């Protein structure tokens, strides 16, 4: 991963973690929504980075599944913010875990 991508990812992670901690400490529903939105953005960025920084030696199917899982997790999380779509937040968590497993599989090789 190039330096610029790593810096952007670290900035997004720090921002998300700050929102998450603020949400937990304050219990404010607006901050909780912002943390959920941050999770959606973070998931989408992970998907983009996995896809754009793939190596030629990586299995293309695993790359596509991993990137798609992250992007779909972000979309599901956004849907989960809408009233009546709470189950989408659960789907977002499952998809994020699938992406996470794929990411570690790709980095392990």
Q: What is the DSSP string of the chain?
A: --HHHHHHHHHHHHHHHHHHHHHHHH--HHHHHHHHHHHHHHHHHHHHHHHHT--TTS-HHHHHHHHHHHHHHHHHHHHHTSTT-HHHHHHHHHHHHHHHHHHHHHHH-
Kindly state the tokens that stand for 32: 């909780």
Contacts (Cβ under 8 Å, ≥6 apart) of 28: 22
**How would you write the pLDDT of the chain (109 residues) with one tens digit per residue?**
677 777 877 888 898 899 999 999 999 999 999 999 999 999 999 999 899 988 888 999 999 999 999 999 999 999 999 999 989 989 999 999 999 999 999 888 6
Q: What's the confidence (pLDDT) of residue 1?
A: 60
Q: Could you tell me the pTM of the whole model? A: 0.86
Q: What is the pLDDT of residue 11?
A: 87
User: What is the pLDDT, as a whole number, of residue 98?
Assistant: 96
């Amino acid at each position: 991963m190039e330096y610029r991508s790593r810096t952007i990812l670290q900035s997004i992670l720090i921002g998300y973690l700050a929102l998450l901690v603020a949400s937990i400490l304050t219990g404010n529903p607006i901050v909780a929504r912002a943390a959920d939105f941050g999770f959606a953005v973070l998931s989408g960025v992970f998907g983009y980075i996995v896809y754009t920084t793939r190596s030629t030696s990586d299995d293309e199917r695993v790359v596509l599944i991993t990137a798609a899982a992250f992007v779909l997790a972000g979309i599901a999380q956004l849907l989960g913010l809408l009233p009546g779509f709470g189950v989408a937040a659960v789907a977002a968590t499952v998809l994020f875990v699938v992406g996470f497993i794929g990411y570690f599989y790709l980095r392990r090789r």
